[in-house]
């Protein structure tokens, strides 16, 4: 009699991943640990090499579903070393009064991690596996789905080349080139919608002795009704702040055109934090303004040849802190299906998209809803029980 408790048989084959971001680099570990030879193409240069220029890194909140995925390939401890637990939200009102809300019970927390640091660690771990072959500076220009061929452009030489693939995993983010090829297939549903809000990264400096000048183990929020700022702790004592702000209107990115306007605005609405941001106006004008998109599409698979994971299939706005976590969970679920269905890639891809799509849609809705909660309702004492801990 067949033993259904044992994982189904797998056969080893060369696999291709497009995009060595957070999800692609984690996925390469999952697939390599199953014995596959995995080639990962990435548009950018290797972020671990000297001379790589990157903007100030966004910090991300890593939560349970993300940890499960990291632990699934045995790298939870490596990442824990660079993560800071945040046990609660701390809300800053306009007078500098602080109130808090716990994220869970006792020691439950979400964790602050640097996106760039996490990506570099995942790449190091992937590269340590001899079955993972990382190819940087390779931009995917197009995918011929029927011929199973990729067109790549080498960013250093400018040369274009065609590569055959047998199975392709599209983890190339919200503006996925792999998805773009699938969009041209029959009955492919696709939508993207932008918020009228953008975001800007700012920084709170560490204290003179490298200490955290706000409560370290917390996610800080300055809710202001129609907009907000948040801050997540870094290991070096600084905080990474993100201002979520309308593009247009009376209080908006468009309205703040000069250093004096920025300074005056921050002093009025975020007065307690201004003394901790000595480079405020310089950073404000230097750092780009990002936009916030929700991408929905279906199907996520093309036959048993191509499948999309992470932001390529479900980019969401960041207010639920779950975009990366959901992408990591894609890896967990795909791995479970590989256990279950072995070499039946058709069943694996089909089950994957059927299981994940409703979850991704729910996450997209929650993320949009949570924006209102974070920027507005967390400041409303009628909405949530608040504990006053300090007033200036
Ligand atoms: P990406 O991280 O975008 O990686 C895609 C990779 O593919 C990149 O390396 C890119 O260079 C490469 N690529 C793109 N196009 C090509 C091409 N044509 N050829 C080759 N390579 C290509 N998520 C959370 O879970 N928690 C948070 O707290 C959180 N906060 C966020 C805050 C902000 C302001 C934003 C914008 C997002 C936040 N997210 C958060 C979401 C999270 O950043 C994404 O969900 C996550 O990065 C998705 O990972 P990915 O690997 O799918 O895509």
Q: Is the CB–ligand 1 distance for residue 322 below 6 Å?
A: yes
In a domain, 29, yes or no: yes
Judged by DSSP in three states, 375 sits in helix
d(CA 172, CA 261): 38
Helix (H) or strand (E) holding 60: strand 59-62
Question: Which tens digits make up the pLDDT trace of 163-181?
Answer: 999 999 999 999 999 999 9
Annotate 231-276 with three-state secondary structure: EEECCCCCEEEEEEEECCCCCCCCCCCCHHHHHHHHHHHCCCCHHH
The verdict on residue 7 lying in a domain is: no
119 lines ligand 1 (CB under 6 A): no
Q: Is the pLDDT of residue 82 over 60?
A: yes
Q: Give the number of domains in the chain.
A: 1
Q: How confident is the model at residue 384 (pLDDT cuts 50, 70, 90)?
A: very low
Higher per-residue confidence, 107 vs 196: 196
The model's pLDDT over 202-217, given as tens digits with 9 standing for 90+, comes to: 999 999 999 999 999 9
Q: Higher pLDDT residue, 280 or 54?
A: 280
CATH of the domain at 37: 3.50.50.60
In a domain, 144, yes or no: yes
Mutate to test the pocket of ligand 1, among 19, 24, 240 (most ligand atoms within 8 A of CB): 19
Residue 175 lies in a domain: yes
Given a contact cutoff of 8 angstroms between Cβ atoms, the answer to whether 40 and 28 are in contact is yes
d(Cα 343, Cα 359) in Å, to the nearest integer?
A: 25
Residue 208: which residues within 8 A CB-CB, separation 6 or more?
Answer: none
In this predicted structure, the answer to whether residue 249 has a pLDDT above a threshold of 80 is: yes
Q: What pLDDT, on a 0 to 100 scale, did the predictor assign at position 389?
A: 41
- pLDDT value of residue 370: 87
Query: Quick check: 153 and 159 in contact, CB under 8 A?
Result: yes
Model confidence at 377, pLDDT cuts 50, 70, 90, reads: low
Q: Are 302 and 145 in contact (CB under 8 A)?
A: yes
Closest-CA residue, ligand 1 atom 36, reads: 318
Q: Is the pLDDT of residue 376 over 80?
A: no
Mean pLDDT of the chain: 92
Residue nearest to atom 32 of ligand 1 (CA): 318
Whether 43 is in a domain gets the answer yes
pLDDT > 70: percent of the chain: 91
Interatomic CA distance for residues 316 and 294, integer angstroms: 5
Q: Residue 317 — pLDDT band, cuts 50, 70, 90?
A: very high
- Share in percent of the chain as helix, strand, coil (round to 5): 30, 30, 40
240 found inside a domain: no
127 inside domain: yes
- Domain of 315 in residue numbering reads as 14-62+76-83+114-192+294-368
Give the percent of the chain with pLDDT over 90. 86
Answer whether residue 12 shows pLDDT above 50.
yes
Task: Of 30-34, 51-55, 115-119, 130-134, give the lowest mean pLDDT range.
Answer: 51-55
Crossing angle of helices 64-72/323-341, nearest 10°?
40
The mean pLDDT value for 120-136 works out to 97
327 lines ligand 1 (CB under 6 A): yes
């Amino acid at each position: 009699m067949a033993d259904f408790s044992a994982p189904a048989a797998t056969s080893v084959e060369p696999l291709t991943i497009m995009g060595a971001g957070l999800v692609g680099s984690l996925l390469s570990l999952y697939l390599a640990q199953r014995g596959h030879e995995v080639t990962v193409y990435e548009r950018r240069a290797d972020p671990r090499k000297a001379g790589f220029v990157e903007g100030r890194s966004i910090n991300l909140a890593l939560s349970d579903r993300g940890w499960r995925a990291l632990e699934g390939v045995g790298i939870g401890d490596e990442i824990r070393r660079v993560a800071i637990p945040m046990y609660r939200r701390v809300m800053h009102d306009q007078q500098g009064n602080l109130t808090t809300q716990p994220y869970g019970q006792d020691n439950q927390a979400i964790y602050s991690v640097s996106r760039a640091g996490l990506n570099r660690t995942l790449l190091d771990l992937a590269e340590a596996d001899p079955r993972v072959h990382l190819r940087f500076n390779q931009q995917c220009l197009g995918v011929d789905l029927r011929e199973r061929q990729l067109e790549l452009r080498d960013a250093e030489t400018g040369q274009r080349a065609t590569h055959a693939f047998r199975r392709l995993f599209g983890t190339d983010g919200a503006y996925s080139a792999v998805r773009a090829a699938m969009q041209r297939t029959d009955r492919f549903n696709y939508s993207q919608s932008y918020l009228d809000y953008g975001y800007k990264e700012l920084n709170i400096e560490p204290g003179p002795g490298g200490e955290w000048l706000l409560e370290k183990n917390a996610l800080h929020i300055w809710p202001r009704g129609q907009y907000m700022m948040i801050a997540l702790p870094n290991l070096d004592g600084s905080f990474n702040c993100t201002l979520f702000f309308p593009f247009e209107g009376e209080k908006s990115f468009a309205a703040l055109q000069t250093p004096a306007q920025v300074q005056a605005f921050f002093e009025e609405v975020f007065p307690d934090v201004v003394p901790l941001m000595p480079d405020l106006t310089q950073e404000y004008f230097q750092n780009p303004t990002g936009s916030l998109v929700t991408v929905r599409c279906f199907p996520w698979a093309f036959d048993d040849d191509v499948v999309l994971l992470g932001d390529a299939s479900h980019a969401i706005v960041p207010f639920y802190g779950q975009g990366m976590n959901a992408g990591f969970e894609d890896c967990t679920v795909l791995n479970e299906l590989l256990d279950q269905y072995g070499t039946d890639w058709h069943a694996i891809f089909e089950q994957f998209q059927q299981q994940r799509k409703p979850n991704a849609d729910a996450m997209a809705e929650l993320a949009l809803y949570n924006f209102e909660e974070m920027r507005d309702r967390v400041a409303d004492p009628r909405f949530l029980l608040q504990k006053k801990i300090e007033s200036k």
